[in-house]
Amino acid sequence: MRTTLKKISIALTALLLVISFMPKLAFADAVPGDVIVTLGQNLSEEQKKDVLKRMELPDEYETIYVTNEEEHLYLGQYISASQIGNKALSSSKITIAPAGTGIQVTSDRISWVSNEMYANALVTAGVQDAEVYVTAPFEVSGTAALTGLIKAYETAADLDIPEEQKTVANEEMIRTAELAESIGSEEANELITRVKEEIASTDIKTEEEMRTIIIKLADEINVTLSDQETDELTALFMKMKDLDIDWDHLKDQLSKVRENFGNFVESEEAKSFLDSFIDAMKRFFDSIADLFRS
d(CA 255, CA 241): 18
User: 65: part of which helix (H) or strand (E)?
Assistant: strand 62-66
- 87-143 pLDDT, tens digit each: 999 999 999 999 999 999 999 999 999 999 999 999 999 999 999 999 999 999 999
Its pTM stands at: 0.78
Residues in a beta bridge with 83: none
Q: Provide the angle, in degrees to the nearest 10, between the axes of the packed helices 163-183 and 145-157.
A: 140
- Contacts for 143 with CB less than 8 Å, ≥ 6 apart: 71, 75, 79, 83, 84, 112, 113, 173, 174, 177
Look at residue 23 and tell me whether its pLDDT is greater than 90. no
In the chain, domain spans = 32-160, 164-291
Q: Stretch 41-70: mean pLDDT, rounded?
A: 96
- 176-192 pLDDT, tens digit each: 999 999 999 999 999 99
Q: Stretch 156-177: mean pLDDT, rounded?
A: 95
Confirm if 48 and 75 have CB atoms less than 8 A apart. no
Q: Pairing between strand 91-96 and 35-40?
A: antiparallel
* 71 burial level (CB within 10 Å; 0-12, 13-18, 19+): buried
Residues in a beta bridge with 110: 140
**Mean pLDDT, the chain, as a whole number?**
85
Look at residue 46 and tell me whether its pLDDT is greater than 50. yes
Please state the length of the chain.
294
Residue-level pLDDT at 294? 56
First-to-final CA distance of the chain? 112
